[in-house]
Amino acid sequence: MNILICDPVSPKGIALLQQRPEFKVSVLTRKHSEDELLPLVGEMNALVVRSETKITRRVIEAAPRLKVVGRAGVGVDNVDVEAATQKGIVVMNTPGGNTISTAELTFSMLMSLARKIPQANQSMKAGEWNRKAYQGVELNDKTLGIIGLGRIGTEVARRALAFGMKVLAYDPYISAARAKALQIQVADLDTIYQHSDFITVHIPLTDETKGMLNTATFAKMKKGVRILNCARGGIIKEEDLAPAIQSGQVAGAALDVYETEPPPANFPLRDLPQVIMTPHLGASTTEAQDNVGIEVAEAIIDFLLTGAVRNAVNLPNLDAKTFDLVKPYLNLGEKLGRLLGQLAPKRNERLVVTYGGKATEVPTDPITRSILKGFLKPVAGDDVNYVNATVTAQTIGLVVEETKSNEETDFSEWLHVAAHSDGQSVSAAGTVFSARHYPRIVRINSQPVEIDPKGVLFLMNNKDRPGIVGHLGSLMAKYKVNIASMSLHRNAAGGQALAVLNLDSVPPAELLAELQQDPDITNIRVLQL
């Protein structure tokens, strides 16, 4: 079997692959463009990348024998996972391999910001002796605001506490009990902005987090705050950070990641002495590189030689026989999770998964992981997968419970998922229809529905009255939004009804605004499955 190492990977990982007589390992010595890769991948069974080489749909289509893509790192932004999945190619990563190295880099940057170490070093190298220019601040008794308390954020918090810092953390998904156990105070963003001497971000880049630190948020911050980003480029709006530093509102910044990497020649922060910059070094330690190199090599060896799947972002960890058994439930589970993740509050204490009918007879762990993968997507974006879903849940203090039920229902096999928060719960249930295993959502908060769980869903509650469905259809037509299917249920004549529509496109805000003017319509939600 042929394996192509596309990016620099730890020699220890490459050696593990080369030691196997079944493998022929080729190593590229420089970065290759998409066009350059196409003629090289035709005979390959496995590709190994870091962050430089992009495995695009064209590359995947040019590799008919490709079985697995291994990413020596956490993110898989440079791999077209959807195209790989469509071709039956497993995409593996190495979750957790760089947690400590990124946390240590963050804290090193924090200390450098506090004591102006890089600037003082540069001054000394230039032959100067200017002690007054590099007066810093102590960390002891200062407040560190952490935005995102996942694996890396938690490790940073532990180091800050050891230095006598007060730690505030914003994470809408972490439970109060989890934060208390870490000796961290949970706070909202405005509190963090107002009281933090240092602010560091450890969150995925999503539509919600892109540009979240900008001119408006800088203005809310304590004057003289210092800001760090060793997470993802784009969370800080770089064009807004420069004037905030120049005005003195922000005393300094330390950046390891950027919106464009490498930053362009006219990058506005490059010439500011208050800014410390490193070239995306979060995982650049010998230990981290050895860890991820060995981890990805071992995962590829196991998969190619035994069919075992681990550290996969598009498949659960299963042998082939077990996968065939649970496959019908995996898609249903992830769709239920994604639905509930958008309906439930951000902070939840428990997620209870109930298996009923024939579903009680299959291995439940991979199905629960698929539910968590969907449910936690708003928390962790594309960073959550089958492998790290349970760890991500533990990190935010979400307790996951599994139960099995012998309750008789209209369905021979079913899943029910309930998210609990502050004494309230939101729930959804689903089943699979026919031998082709079509997934269907059949209940939302105990109300019967029949929903094809894909694409755009529109939900609303309304008073059961004549003409309301026609009104809804007319407005959809007015804004050229096509209805693919509709499910409608009422609790009693003239009572409350739940309408769920599959739409061909996202309805515009103007349509939703018109609907909200009707006093009999409430709880309008638009979800993406």
* Residue with more model confidence, 421 or 18: 18
pLDDT confidence of residue 162: 97
Q: Name every residue whose Cβ is closer than 8 Å to that of residue 90 and which is 6 or more positions away in sequence.
A: 67, 68, 69, 84, 303, 309, 312, 314, 315
Q: Is 498 within 8 Å of 488 (Cβ atoms)? A: yes
Share of the chain above pLDDT 70, in %: 96
pLDDT digits (tens, 9 = 90+) for 81-96: 888 877 778 899 887 7
More reliable by pLDDT, 358 or 324: 358
Of 276, 283, 179, 195, nearest to 231 (Cα)? Answer: 283
Q: Of 200, 143, 150, nearest to 174 (Cα)? A: 150
H helix intervals, 163-195? 176-181, 189-195
Q: Let me know the angle formed at the C-alpha of 136 by 133 and 140, rounded to the nearest 5 degrees.
A: 170
What is the per-residue pLDDT for 410?
Answer: 79
> Which pLDDT tens digit goes with each residue over 38-78?
999 999 999 999 888 999 999 999 999 999 999 998 778 79
pLDDT at 109 over 60: yes
Would strands 447-451 and 438-444 be described as parallel, antiparallel, or unpaired? antiparallel
Nearest of 173, 156, 174 to residue 165 by alpha carbon = 156
Does the pLDDT of residue 219 top 70, yes or no? Answer: yes
- Are the C-beta atoms of 195 and 168 separated by less than 8 Å? yes
- Residue 435 predicted with pLDDT over 70: no
Mean pLDDT of 495-516: 89
Tokens of 238: 């770089």
Structure confidence at residue 319 (pLDDT): 63
Tens-digit pLDDT profile for residues 258-278: 999 899 999 989 999 999 999
Q: Is the pLDDT of residue 309 over 90?
A: no
Please choose, from the candidates 420, 409, 439, the residue with its C-alpha nearest in 3D space to the C-alpha of residue 327. Answer: 439
Q: What is the DSSP secondary structure assignment for residue 282, as one 8-state letter?
A: T
pLDDT confidence of residue 24: 97
- Is residue 388's pLDDT more than 90? no
H helix intervals, 116-150: 117-125
Residues 6+ apart with CB under 8 A from 467: none
Task: List domains and CATH numbers for the chain.
Answer: 1-95+284-315 (3.40.50.720), 99-277 (3.40.50.720), 316-453 (3.30.1330.90), 455-529 (3.30.70.260)
Catalytic residues: 232, 261, 280
- Band (320; pLDDT cuts 50, 70, 90): low
What is the pLDDT, as a whole number, of residue 452?
Answer: 86
Q: Please give the pLDDT value at position 387.
A: 59
Q: What would the mean pLDDT of 317-329 be, rounded to a whole number? A: 72
> Which residues are paired to 225 by β-bridges?
250
121-165: pLDDT as tens digits: 999 999 999 988 999 999 999 999 999 998 899 999 999 999 999
Q: What share of the chain is helix, strand, coil (3-state, %, to 5)?
A: 35, 25, 40
Mean pLDDT of 399-416: 87
Give the model's pLDDT for residue 84. 86
Question: Which 3 state secondary structure label does DSSP give 440?
Answer: strand
H or E segment at 102?
helix 99-115
What does the DSSP 8-state code read for residue 426?
E
Q: Which of 60-74, 427-441, 445-459 has the highest average model confidence (pLDDT)?
A: 60-74
pLDDT at site 160: 97
What pLDDT sits at residue 281?
A: 92
Between residues 172 and 504, the one the model is more confident about: 504
Radius of gyration of the chain (CA): 26
At 321 the pLDDT is: 66
Nearest-angstrom CA–CA distance, 241 and 283: 25
Q: In Å, how far are 336, 346, 378, 414, 419 from 349, measured between CA atoms?
A: 18, 10, 16, 23, 8
Does 175 have pLDDT greater than 80? Answer: no
Q: Mean pLDDT across the chain, nearest whole number?
A: 89
Is residue 306 over pLDDT 60?
Answer: yes
333 φ, ψ (degrees, to nearest 5): -60, -45
